Amino acid sequence: MSVIAFTLLVTIKQHQSIAIAILSILAIPIGILIFWLSGIFPANRFIVFDRERQLVYFTQRTRNKIDSSTWTDSSYLIYDENHVYRPYSYCNTKVALIRPPHDLIKDGAPPSPKAHKLMDLDGKQFSLWHTTEAEAIYRYIVAFMTAPPTEGPAAEVAKADHELCDEHYAGNWDLMRRIEGWRWYRLDPSKLPDQPNWIRHPDGRWERTGPGVKVLRPWWENLIKPRRPAINQNTENPDA
pLDDT, tens digit, 9 for 90 and up, residues 15-73: 666 666 677 677 778 777 877 766 555 556 788 999 889 999 998 877 778 999 999 99
d(CA 219, CA 31): 14
DSSP letter for each residue of 46-111: -EEEETTTTEEEEE-SSSS-EEEEETTT-EEEEEEEE-SSSTTSEEEEEEEEEPTT--HHHH-SPP
- Across the range 148-177, mean pLDDT stands at 84
Q: What is the pLDDT of residue 34?
A: 75
157: pLDDT confidence band, cut at 50, 70 and 90? confident
Pairwise pLDDT comparison (112 vs 123), residue with the higher score: 112
Q: What are phi and psi of 66, to 5 degrees?
A: -120, 150
Pairwise pLDDT comparison (168 vs 30), residue with the higher score: 168
Pairwise pLDDT comparison (115 vs 176), residue with the higher score: 176
Pairwise pLDDT comparison (182 vs 91), residue with the higher score: 91
Among 41-50, 123-132, 208-217, which is the least confidently predicted range? 123-132
Residue 101, preceding bond cis, omega within 30 degrees? Answer: yes
- Across the range 4-18, mean pLDDT stands at 64
**In contact, 198 and 208? CB cutoff 8 Å:** yes
**In contact, 64 and 218? CB cutoff 8 Å:** no
Quote the DSSP letter at residue 235: T
**In contact, 134 and 78? CB cutoff 8 Å:** yes
**In contact, 103 and 83? CB cutoff 8 Å:** no
Distances (CA, A) of 48 to 66, 141, 187: 10, 11, 10
**pLDDT over 50 at 94, yes or no:** yes
Distances (CA, A) of 25 to 6, 19, 34, 115: 15, 10, 15, 39
Contacts of 59 (CB under 8 A, 6+ apart): 44, 45, 46, 47, 65, 66, 67, 119
Question: Which of 13-27, 119-133, 160-174: highest mean pLDDT?
Answer: 160-174
238: pLDDT confidence band, cut at 50, 70 and 90? very low
Burial of 196 (0-12, 13-18, 19+ CB in 10 A): buried
pLDDT, mean over the chain: 77
pTM, two decimals, is 0.69
Distances (CA, A) of 219 to 36, 64, 66, 101, 226: 9, 11, 16, 30, 11
d(CA 25, CA 1): 12
**In contact, 67 and 57? CB cutoff 8 Å:** yes
Q: What is the pLDDT of residue 198?
A: 95
Q: What is the pLDDT of residue 196?
A: 95
Q: What is the pLDDT of residue 240?
A: 41
Count other C-beta atoms under 10 Å from residue 190's C-beta: 9
In 3D space, the residue among 44, 9, 13, 33 whose CA is nearest the CA of residue 23 turns out to be 9
Pairwise pLDDT comparison (169 vs 126), residue with the higher score: 169
Percent share of the chain, pLDDT over 70: 70
Q: What is the pLDDT of residue 57?
A: 94
Pairwise pLDDT comparison (14 vs 149), residue with the higher score: 149
